[in-house]
Amino acid sequence: MVVSGTIAVASAGTRVQAAHKGNFKTAVFKARSNNTGDIYLGGGDVSSSAGMTLTPGESIQFQLANPASTAQFWADAANNNDQVDFIGSI
């Protein structure tokens, strides 16, 4: 099963939780190339100083031992309206 979605950060400095689209073991998160600043990816405490930084167009792949919900991931952004897309599978 493949799951995909987008985390859109309307207001910089405000973390946004990914919607539950399903569970995955392998996933790729990619900051949109037309973003105007960095995206910060992590858990519920993600911020510009806590989490992984993705520059516009940059991606990161996760390989998990056990399935996890997409809702376990959160994003924040340096600028308003920046987004990160994800796709994952079991």
Asked whether the predicted pLDDT for residue 72 surpasses 90, the reply is yes
Write out pLDDT tens, residues 9-36: 999 999 999 999 999 999 999 999 999 9
Q: Cβ(15)–Cβ(44) under 8 Å?
A: yes
Residue 16, domain CATH = 2.60.120.10
Write out pLDDT tens, residues 31-60: 999 999 999 999 999 999 999 999 999 999
What domain range includes position 77? 2-89
Helix (H, G, I), strand (E, B) or coil at 54: strand
- How far CA 18 is from CA of 38, 55, 70, in Å, comes to 17, 19, 6
> How many domains does the chain divide into?
1
Asked whether the predicted pLDDT for residue 1 surpasses 90, the reply is no
Asked whether the predicted pLDDT for residue 83 surpasses 90, the reply is yes
pLDDT band at 90 (very low <50, low <70, confident <90, very high): confident
